Amino acid sequence: MTDYEKYSLLVGILGSSVTFMAVIVALWGERIRQWWTKPKLKISLADPQGSFTTRGDGKKARYYSLDVINERQSSPAKNVRVLLIEIIKQGPDGNWRPIVFSGPVHVTWKWPNITPAYTTIGPDEMSTFGFVVEDAKRFALQLYWCPNNLDPTFPPNEPIRMRFKAVSDSAESNTLTVQVAWDGMWNEGSKEMQQHLIVIVIQ
């Protein structure tokens, strides 16, 4: 092969490559751009000990929350909400069975009075999914609304597993499964209470 033929072949290959890349950009460029620039949501369990507080009604309570993080802060996630997508309850035989309800349901943000239900997340936010009140003897879900076929409270000694996901206009987070088991005992101390109400992530 002469030098001229080699040169012609190289020019032809480069021309074909440029044409191919132009076609790829034309067909998939916007989708690729959206993939690289869309938010990246992640949810995780916040402090498993919960947060102790005295409520406005004077009752002592402990609240349990999720961290909601946008790992791509340069692309704010719009209209973010945390959804409870499934509840599984442990029966007397030890087997786990799903609770049927009209869902998914919208979990509240930590500060629902000042945080929009559909909020924009740049760096991070917190969502409170449940709480216990001293002497109430029930673990209660914290939701913006509750379907008629779901009892949002659970008595002691009946462990439950809840699956959560954060969604926005353009992204979804990982699915997180949290297990709550409580023996009904109350204690103001965080470490002492954690021996009675155990909140863990199930892989």
Give tens-digit pLDDT for 33-66. Answer: 444 468 999 999 999 999 999 998 999 999 999 9
For the chain, give the number of residues. Answer: 203
Q: Which residues contact 33 (CB under 8 A, 6 or more apart)?
A: none
89 touches 83 (CB < 8 A): no
pLDDT above 90 covers a percentage of the chain that reads 73
C-alpha of 170 from chain center: 15
Q: Are residues 67 and 7 in the same domain?
A: no
pLDDT digits (tens, 9 = 90+) for 93-137: 889 999 999 989 999 999 998 899 999 988 789 999 999 999 999
Q: Are residues 76 and 149 in the same domain?
A: yes
84 touches 143 (CB < 8 A): yes
User: Rg (Cα) of the chain, in Å, rounded?
Assistant: 25
Q: Are residues 103 and 89 in the same domain?
A: yes
**Total domain count, the chain:** 2
| Structural domain harbouring 118 | 39-202
Total-model pTM: 0.81
Q: Are residues 19 and 50 in the same domain?
A: no
